[in-house]
Structure 1
Amino acid sequence: MLTSKRLSAIADYVLEGSRLADIGSDHALLPVELVGRGTCPSAIAGEVNDGPLEAARRGIAAAGLASSIEARKGDGLEVLQPGEADTVTIAGMGGALIVSILEAGRLGGKLDGVRQLVLQPNVGEELVRAWLLEHGWHLAEESILEEDGKIYEVLHALSSAEARERSEELYGGEPLLPGLTSEEDRRLKLRMGPYLTRRPSEAFARKWSSELRKLRGIALQLERSDTEEAAARKRELAQVIDRIEEVLACTRTDMSSLS
């Protein structure tokens, strides 16, 4: 069984019967768990570096699953043939890197036949949400958790004929805060999560309290510059800080009502 809360959260999103490709699989813990528990009949563990690739192969062999899981060396989705997997998991990377892997896969036809993505960016979650929205994937669910002093977000996206319509409903509708334009509201939901902003969560509050401290530090540094560019950036940051503070205030109110 998986001992990592982060990997367990990813595994729980994978649908029964999925043909899995785990990109950046490291020790192949996720494929071994999902094939071992019977969720996935088969899996591919992709790794670009020899050390993790060999670790994956050892883990697969130790679990007795070499007939069902194949470890392959390759960069991102290059380890796949089009139509070979219907589910892709990518975890433990920055959001920009995850987006670059998905985009290269999209352009190369490697996402053909893929109907499910489970993604866990370490940073830059808004970049991943924006890519999913732009390319016709519906963010079906997302979660946030804390493990070993770090906070992680896990995104579960689906591709379907109704994906664009459902995405418009998700990012449209009632704004998070009064007075926001539709574009401002969409940007805020992409940044903070359209589901996470609606749910009271200690992990969410801790993450964005930390982000606020970082943003205020940047704003303080900008005070030392008298350029027009610095002034514009400071105004932009002030607005972002205000919006995050307002969302956090609403979240804390919701959490208080539940206690």
Structure 2
Amino acid sequence: MIELSQRLRTIGDMVEQGHRVADIGSDHAYLPTYLIQKNIASACIAGEVNRGPWQSAVRQIRSAGLGERIDVRLGDGLDVIHPGEVDTVCIAGMGGSLIVSILDKGMEKLAGVTQLLLAPNVAAPLVRRWLLEHGWQLNREKILEEDGIIYEILEAIPGNPAFPYENHERELEDLLEVGPYLWQESSPVLRKKWEQELGKLRSVQTQLQRAKNPEAEGKKQEVNKKLAWMEEMLACMQTDKE
């Protein structure tokens, strides 16, 4: 049985039982290997845009003896699948802007897909906004820390995109930034993430305060506003859990 990182294992365990899965940007095809070995997926496609990682994935599948269940394909994003060919699409290990770009370019390939599992390294709010604007309902969110890095994992299904953001005391923009389910849970990992973000922004504020040029004034106001928002959100997270 293949050993996975906590992040990939968490994604794998979120896949619906018996689904046909496409893992986009599969690298060594570790996730598809796990899904077949655990009898979670019925079949997998491992997609990779670069020849080197594609060759690594091919070797991994051969060594695991899973060539009949996992198809390794070379191609850009969702170009590696046909409409109706898979039930679940996983995209992990890249930034939110790249994930959104892949989804935008391959929207017609999502016909028949009933589950998206998206794990942006950064810029998760961009992914949430894309889902909201393109008919996908955010269904679950997970946050975890591994080797000092904090990861967010988003699951979306066809449905009512507005549903996760309804009946909250927070504004839509707040929930897109933090995550509606993560906000509800307000776990220690989520608070740690935003404490780290607050620290980074305070460093930016300190640097800006030294700047004397007029152009810095607008940036100062923008940073001060974001800092006030972060401090208020963190205070609410702590209060909610006391």
1:253, distance to aligned residue in structure 2 (A):
3.0
The farther-off stretch of 135-144 and 49-58 is 49-58
Q: How does 1:1-259 map to 2 (within 5 A)?
A: 1-106=2-107, 109-159=108-158, 163-164=159-160, 167-176=161-170, 185-223=171-209, 224-227=211-214, 230-255=216-241, 257=242
**Secondary structure in 2 matching 1:20:** strand
3-state SS of the aligned residue for 2:67?
coil
Structure 1: distance between partners of 2:57 and 2:44: 12
Structure 2 counterpart SS, 1:242? helix
- Say which SS state the counterpart of residue 141 (structure 1) adopts: strand
Instruction: Give the deviation of 1:85 after TM superposition.
Output: 1.0
| Residues 87 and 116, structure 1, Cα contact 8 Å, conserved in 2 | yes
Matches of 2:204 and 2:180 in 1, distance apart?
Answer: 26
Query: Which residue identity lines up with residue 242 of structure 1 in the other structure?
Result: A
Structure 2: tracts of 5 or more residues without a match? none
| Deviation for aligned residue 1:196 | 0.9
Distance 1:25 1:213 in 2: 33
Give distance in 1, aligned partners of 2:213 and 2:167.
Answer: 40
Residue-by-residue CA offset, 1:202-231 (whole Å, 9 max, x unaligned):
21111111111121222233331442x533
Deviations 1:155-211 (A, max 9, x none): 00111xxx23xx3232132223xxxxxxxx111111111111121322111111111
Aligned partner of residue 247 in structure 1, secondary structure: helix
Identical residues among aligned pairs (%): 50
**Partners of 2:226 and 2:35 in 1: CA distance:** 40
The aligned amino acid for 2:175 is K
Aligned partners of 1:50 and 1:12: how far apart in 2?
28
Query: Aligned partner of 2:222: which letter?
Result: E
Q: TM-score, normalised by structure 2?
A: 0.94
Kept in 2: contact 1:197–1:247 (CA 8 A)? no
Paired with 2:189 and 2:212, the residues of 1 have a C-alpha distance of 34
**C-alpha distance in 2, partners of 1:147/1:212?**
20
TM-score with structure 1 setting the length: 0.88
Residue type at the aligned position of 2:83: P
Measure the CA separation in 2 of the matches of 1:172 and 1:43.
Answer: 35
Residue segments in structure 1 that go unaligned for 5+ positions in a row: 177-184
